[in-house]
Amino acid sequence: MSFSNSLKGSRSQQWSYTFNLIGVLAICGSLIEAFYYQIFMHELPCPLCQLQRVALTMAGIGMMLNMRFGPSAVHYAIVLASSIAGAAASVRQILLHIEPGDPGYGSDLFGLHFYTWSFFSFLTMMIFCSVMLCIDRNNMTAAFKTAASALTAFVMYLFLTLAAANTVTSVMVCKFGSCPDNPTVYYWKF
């Protein structure tokens, strides 16, 4: 079945599906990168890092809802609200480490720390929501069917697995209390 036949709906709904799929894949990539540094580089996430991961996960849920049920202002609102919350956590962390000579928290990637990249990601998601709300505004209530494609199922299962893994590792770092400012060990081990 070709991609054009897998979606029943308008051209803008097909674009919405494609862009939301790409967005969920990008979020999965970000979470995989975060887990790589957490597991292999032994850099445990700080409380603000965990808030940014939660915001990424919530934005991904909004995008998955758009993929599964069609574009909706409510789904884009979930992405937008999550992006605003994540950007606020990112900016807070950037401002904590803005003092000259401060090495920042954790490793960097291409010269910028992950919380700076996180801010740019959230900003991109806010722009994405603004554009998609303008493109999809006439087709928000039109019928939308997503064919069960292997790619869609794989991306959704990958995302949900990463979200569950993030929940487990958060509990391992913080138990069920407040998280340490600079975590160095897992407080709860299996």
85 pLDDT exceeds 70? yes
Which residues are CB-contacts of 149 (< 8 A; sequence separation ≥ 6)?
Answer: 1, 6
155 belongs to a structural domain = yes
Q: Given CA atoms 34, 78, 48, 174 in this order, what sign does their dihedral have?
A: negative
180 belongs to a structural domain = no
131 belongs to a structural domain = yes
Q: Can you give the residue range of the structural domain that contains 72? A: 8-100+109-174
pLDDT of amino acid 138:
58
| Per-residue pLDDT reduced to its tens digit, 32-55 | 998 888 888 888 888 888 889 999
pLDDT of amino acid 123:
96
* 139: confidence class by pLDDT, cuts 50, 70, 90: low
pLDDT of amino acid 14:
77
129 belongs to a structural domain = yes
189 belongs to a structural domain = no
130 belongs to a structural domain = yes
Higher pLDDT, 116 or 145: 116
User: What is the CATH number for 152?
Assistant: 1.20.1550
Question: Measured between alpha carbons, how far is 140 from 136 in angstroms, rounded to an integer?
Answer: 6
138 belongs to a structural domain = yes
Q: Are 45 and 34 in contact (CB under 8 A)?
A: yes
Number of domains in the chain: 1
181 belongs to a structural domain = no
Structure tokens at 54: 């939660």
Share of the chain above pLDDT 70, in %: 82
The two beta strands, 145-146 and 108-109, are unpaired
